[in-house]
A and B are shown apart, each in its own frame.
Chain A
Amino acid sequence: MSLSLTLAADPVQHVINHKFIVSENGYWIWSAIQTNMVLVSAVMIFVGLFVAKSVATGDEGQGHGRWVTNNRFAHMIEVICDYLRENTVRPMIGERTNAMMPFLWTIFFFILANNLLGLIPIIDLHNILAGTMAPEMLAQHKAFIGGTATQSIWVTGALGLIAAVVINLAGVKELGLAGYLKHLTAGAPIFVWPIIIPIEILGTVIKPAALTIRLFANMTAGHILVAVLIGFVATGFTNDNPLLGFPIGVASSLGVIAIYFLELFIAFLQAYVFMFLTTVFISLLSHHDDHDHETSHEIAEAFLA
């Protein structure tokens, strides 16, 4: 219960990253979310290999069964992949879909896996264990694993940077370097270029920055809300006046459950939004006679607004 009371005192402390190895000059060499990301990467690779094996078409000797994905989990991943490819990406970037899908699928599942891992209270279990086995770790706010990687703006920034590189490289590949640079003029008359070009260049930074901040802010806000509500639960049930504290505790418990399910939804939603907007930004850097180009502009403006 003391842990819960700590949460109630400062919920932000619960959701921020925890250091594990710190250099002499104060730089965090290794922190809890880095272990999370290593775990997520390993899981993605192993699960990916398993899913690939399950989704791949079987031998001809299996008859019609060769077309069936045998594992339900693999089938779920297959459905998600198919939906993202055919219903989200292909309508926007058309023929470039197959080339871009490996990156887009990876970024979607990387963010999703990190979001979902963040919903597992590993840091709390870690703190409970550390409290009994290594109290000095708890005292120094150190943790080997736990937290939410996508709650760190450095992590989301790295993902945004990768997205920016891919978006612009895809633009250069599609339009050619000259076409890409011409795109920065937005087709405006030459005397407007001194205004338009800096705005367009800012746009190339703002777009991935928007991806970065959106993911970071959504994950952080949701986790802080859950931590605050858990704090209410703790303070409610430990209140000296049970007539006052008990209803608060019960209501907060129900609120935590509800918000937790919302967080589960947001974990999927934010992964999807990141991937979706990356696709939109990729589609913006295409030939202006493309059918869906104007639609992509409208979507991008709506999300950036």
Chain B
Amino acid sequence: MNRFASFTVFAALAFVSTASSVAVAAAEANPIAKPNEGFAAGVTALVLFTIVCAILSVAVWPKIVKGLDERNEKIKGEIAAAEDARKQAKEALNEYEKNLADARAQAQQMLEETKATQNELAAQLKSKAETELNEMREKAKADIESAKKQALDELYSQSVNLATVMAGKILQREVSVNDEQRLMEESLAELKTVNS
């Protein structure tokens, strides 16, 4: 017999003898534990408990375990789904906020660009208007100058004609074309001298 087998036998014998001694001592020491009064009750408890445990282990506990486990899985699944939904909602919210911020930035940028374009356009319009106005002013000046010159020329011409006529009448002779031309050029020269 090897060492392990010896030990097993020794331990088993020790267990049985110790348990028996303790049980007998407890029964003898305790007046309530009268074997003739309680033994049948103890056996009944043993048998009934074994029967109840067997029946419940077959017909009741497996169903309750299955129900509890399925419910646990369901609850865990629901919690996980809720966590996913929360995560997705958070991501959607973040994306929405990001889009909103982008849209705001874009709107601001568009507003600034519009303002800039508007300012530029206004400046261009103003510049164009000023240019056109200047051009119109210059043109008007030129027109005035031209009209003035033309009027002066006509005035001089008429004056020369008148003077020629008057001179002819005074001199009782007809002033030739050459005289008239010469008088007019002299008058114009004098007039230019006066005007300048």
Contacts and interface: CB of A to CB of B under 8 A. Distances in A.
A139 B4 CA distance: 60
Contacts, number: 164
B18 A152 contact: no
A34 B45 CA distance: 8
A56 B14 contact: no
B30 A153 contact: yes
A52 B44 contact: no
A61 interface: no
A105 interface: yes
A135 to B, nearest CB: 23
A85 B55 CA distance: 19
A29 interface: yes
Contact of B45 (A25, A37, A102): A37
Interface stretch (B67-75, B90-98, B130-138): B67-75
What is the interface residue range for chain B against chain A?
35 or more
Contacts of A105: 56, 61
A56 B67 contact: yes
Contact of A78 (B22, B57, B67): B67
A93 interface: no
A162 B49 contact: yes
Interface stretch (B34-42, B113-121, B172-180): B34-42
A48 B44 CA distance: 20
A102 B42 contact: no
A110 B45 CA distance: 10
A183 to B, nearest CB: 10
Given A17-B41, A49-B60, A101 B49 contact: no
A106 B57 contact: yes
B117 to A, nearest CB: 60
Contacts of A19: 37
A106 B14 CA distance: 31
Contacts of A103: 53, 57
A184 B11 contact: yes
Interface string A29-56: 1110110011011001100110111011
A155 B42 contact: yes
Contacts of A57: 66-67, 70-71
Contacts of A63: none
Interface string A1-40: 0000000000000001101000001111111011001101
A159 interface: yes
Contacts of B7: 181
Interface string B1-35: 00010011011001100110010001000101100
10 contacts: A27-B39, A48-B56, A57-B66, A57-B70, A67-B74, A105-B56, A107-B49, A149-B41, A153-B33, A155-B44
